[in-house]
Amino acid sequence: MFTGIVEELGEVTAVENLGDASRFRLRGPVVTEGAKHGDSIAVNGVCLTVVDSGDGEFTADVMAETLNRSSLGVLEAGSRVNLERPMALGGRLGGHLVQGHVDGTGTIVERKPSDHWEIVQVSLPADLSRYVVEKGSITVDGVSLTVVEAGPDYFTISLIPTTLALTTLGIKQAGDPVNLEVDVLAKYVERLLGAGATTGADADARTDARTAAKETAK
């Protein structure tokens, strides 16, 4: 589990095409400190498993499913990436609960700079719009952010100078893809409410059946 608080702006140093997968080598001295085989590191919001690490770099294998469903497929040597290690048990939850399981990709539509912050509009896949609400949380390229405006096929976020300077969101331009992960709590609530509705319908059906049986027995 992650928090969406990026620890380091890293860099892709090599991409090896494995046919149905790719092997990435990434530089990140902060996140690789103490990292070992099997550890997890979020790369632009995608939870990846460390294959090996050393000299401030690590490698990770990315299967075709992940390449197709996230923006990792467009990365190449020299690309900058947001890096974060999993939250330690008992650590501070600085952002919100982030799984590192990308729900889809959006595209930066426009940027509106201001003196002290910047408003960024991002396109939103139709099947994710129901999980995005004004003042709710969303993860964009692994960064935990608060939704300013939630539209039917877009949302806006406000970026402070720190976010602009220390994450990829400061350098991405209109037309660039970004990974999106909606708040997992919203998905659980939807599932539970759906299950409750089904259970209620079943209970009503059973009640109607019992009533009908009693009427028949009279």
- pLDDT of 205 > 60? The answer is no
Cβ pair 53, 59 in contact under 8 A: yes
**Once rounded to an integer, what is the mean pLDDT over residues 98-125?**
92
* Share above pLDDT 70 across residues of the chain, in percent, rounded to a whole number: 89
Burial 110-130 (b: 16+ CB within 10 A, else e): eeeeeeeebebbbbbeeebbe
Q: CB count, 10 Å around CB of 82?
A: 25
**36 vs 12, 24, 59, 106, CA distance in Å?**
19, 16, 11, 32
Amino acid at 193: L
Q: How far is Cα 42 from Cα 31, in angstroms, rounded to an integer?
A: 10
pLDDT of residue 25: 97
Q: Which residues pair with 150 in a beta bridge?
A: 155
**Once rounded to an integer, what is the mean pLDDT over residues 23-34?**
96
pTM score of the predicted model: 0.84
pLDDT of residue 81: 98
**Cα R_g (the chain), whole angstroms:** 22
Return the SS3 of 204.
helix
pLDDT of residue 15: 96
